[in-house]
Chains A and B, each alone.
Chain A
């Protein structure tokens, strides 16, 4: 079993839809959880950063971590065509430098 699993998609939704993106993981040592957005031919950019379990909201984005289920989610409300990108989950352990483990990414397509 891979350490981090993420459905590659593509996930196609109409503009205005609520989008749910998910990752599962197997290593219970992961404590820090991140979501990155990557546009075509660009580097990943950080969207959300959370520690341990719970929810975090930033504008239209909500990150959710359920450590008991080893499951993290990113919700996008009122999705826009500009949200079309690949979304990468990433996580790290509670010590050492930032050696992140990434999911493979989910491609999201929001149609007008």
Chain B
């Protein structure tokens, strides 16, 4: 899944600990997305960033914060991890070629390989 790089690949946290999941893209897209995937629940949008400097809540934003550091990087932070946040987290960007302000509209997404997080 070249183009979207997520770190770390795996992480185990204790309840109450904090951590930041990192995502970087090299496709020059304006928009970036964070999803979580849970068994029986499918992929659900946590937050997205339509462009550098802007972020918006998705379907399940509670317990998370995000930061669009620059056009290339979009991080997801868990301030006080809970067992309910045990999940696989995916970062995504539009699949079409980036650059223009409208290049993200209605484009399918290209996903990274995920961060597998366990909170005990």
Contacts and interface: CB of A to CB of B under 8 A. Distances in A.
Interface string A8-40: 100000000000000000000001101000000
A45 B1 contact: yes
A99 interface: yes
A81 to B, nearest CB: 22
B108 A102 contact: no
A97 to B, nearest CB: 5
Interface residues of A, number: 26
Contacts, number: 67
A92 interface: yes
Nearest to B104: A97
A92 B40 CA distance: 21
Interface string A65-108: 00000000000000000000000101010111111101111000
A34 B110 CA distance: 12
B35 to A, nearest CB: 8
Given A41-B114, A46-B108, A96-B105, 15 more contacts: A42-B1, A42-B114, A43-B113, A43-B114, A44-B43, A88-B42, A88-B43, A97-B48, A97-B105, A98-B31, A98-B105, A98-B108, A100-B43, A102-B44, A103-B42
Interface of B: 1, 4, 31, 33, 40-45, 48, 50, 58, 90, 92, 94-95, 104-114, 116
